[in-house]
Amino acid sequence: MKPFTLPDFYLPHPPRLNPHLEFARSHSLDWAKRLGILDEPDPAGGLVWDVQRLERMDFALLCAYTHPDCDAEALALVTEWYVWVFFFDDDFLAKFKNGRQRAAATQYLERLELFMAEPGAPVPEPRNPAEAGLADCWSRTIPSMSAGWRRRMVLSTHNLMVESMWELDNIARDRVANPLEYIEMRRRVGGAPWSANLVEYAAGAEIPDRFAAERPLRVLCDTFSDAVHLRNDLFSYEREVRIEGENANAVLVFETFLGLPTQTAANLVNDLLTTRLKQFEDTAEVEVPQLFLARAAAPAEQAAVGRYILGLQDWQSGGHEWHMRSSRYMNSGLDTGPTGLGTATARLVPGLRIQLNQHTPPRRSPGDLTVAGLSTPDLATPNPHLAAARADLPQWVAATGLLEPAAPGWTPHSVAEADFALLAALVHPEVDEPGLILRSRWCAWGFHLGDLLSHAYRALPVAGREQLRRLPQFLADPPAQAPGTPVERALAQLWRDTSATDPAGRQQVRAAVLESIEAWQLWLDNEVRRRIPDPVDHLENRRAAFGGRLVTALGRPAGHPRAADALADTSVLRQLENSALDHAGLVNDLYSYRREIHDGGEHQNLVYITQSFLNCSREAARDIVVDLAEERLCQFEQTARDRLPVFFTDHRVADPAREAVLAQVRRWQQYMAGNLAWHAGTGRYTASAPQRPRPPIAGPTGPFVSALGGRRTSTGRPA
Q: What is the DSSP string of 614-683?
A: HT--HHHHHHHHHHHHHHHHHHHHHIIIIIHHHHHHHTT--HHHHHHHHHHHHHHHHHHHHHHHHHHH-S
- pTM of the entire predicted model: 0.87
Centre a 10 Å sphere on the Cβ of residue 638 and count the other Cβ atoms it contains. Answer: 17
Q: Say yes or no to pLDDT of 21 above 60.
A: yes
Which H helix or E strand runs over 266?
Answer: helix 262-282
Q: Quote the CA–CA distance of 675 and 665 in Å, as a whole number.
A: 15
3-class SS of residue 78? helix
Q: Say yes or no to pLDDT of 719 above 50.
A: no
Tell me the pLDDT band of 29, cut-offs 50, 70 and 90.
very high
Q: Does 107 or 310 have the greater pLDDT score?
A: 310
Centre a 10 Å sphere on the Cβ of residue 529 and count the other Cβ atoms it contains. Answer: 13
Residue-wise pLDDT for 483-498, tens only, equals: 999 999 999 999 999 9
What is the radius of gyration, based on Cα positions, of the chain? Answer: 26
Q: Does 337 or 705 have the greater pLDDT score?
A: 337
Residue-wise pLDDT for 185-217, tens only, equals: 888 888 899 999 999 999 999 999 999 999 999
Among 56-70, 162-176, 570-584, where is mean pLDDT lowest?
Answer: 162-176
Q: Say yes or no to pLDDT of 541 above 60.
A: yes
* pLDDT recorded at residue 707: 25
Rounded mean pLDDT of 219-246?
A: 90
Tell me the pLDDT band of 352, cut-offs 50, 70 and 90.
very low
Answer whether 267's CB lies under 8 Å from 344's CB.
Answer: yes
Rounded mean pLDDT of 438-457?
A: 96
* pLDDT recorded at residue 344: 28
| Closest C-alpha to 570, from 630, 653, 513 | 653
* pLDDT recorded at residue 586: 97
Per the DSSP assignment, residues forming a β-bridge with 254 are none
Residue-wise pLDDT for 632-661, tens only, equals: 999 999 999 998 998 898 888 999 999 999
* pLDDT recorded at residue 255: 93
Q: Quote the CA–CA distance of 464 and 453 in Å, as a whole number.
A: 7
3-class SS of residue 375? strand
| Portion of the chain with pLDDT greater than 70, in percent | 90
* pLDDT recorded at residue 718: 32
Among 95-99, 403-407, 498-502, 559-563, where is mean pLDDT lowest?
Answer: 95-99
Rounded mean pLDDT of 351-362?
A: 48
Tell me the pLDDT band of 478, cut-offs 50, 70 and 90.
confident
Tell me the pLDDT band of 504, cut-offs 50, 70 and 90.
low
Q: Tell me the residue type at 413.
A: H
Q: Quote the CA–CA distance of 74 and 67 in Å, as a whole number.
A: 9
Cβ neighbors of 101 (< 8 A, separation 6 or more) are 95
Q: Quote the CA–CA distance of 695 and 158 in Å, as a whole number.
A: 48
Q: How far is CA 430 from the centre of its chain?
A: 30
| Portion of the chain with pLDDT greater than 90, in percent | 70
∠ CA 336-340-343, nearest 5°, is 95
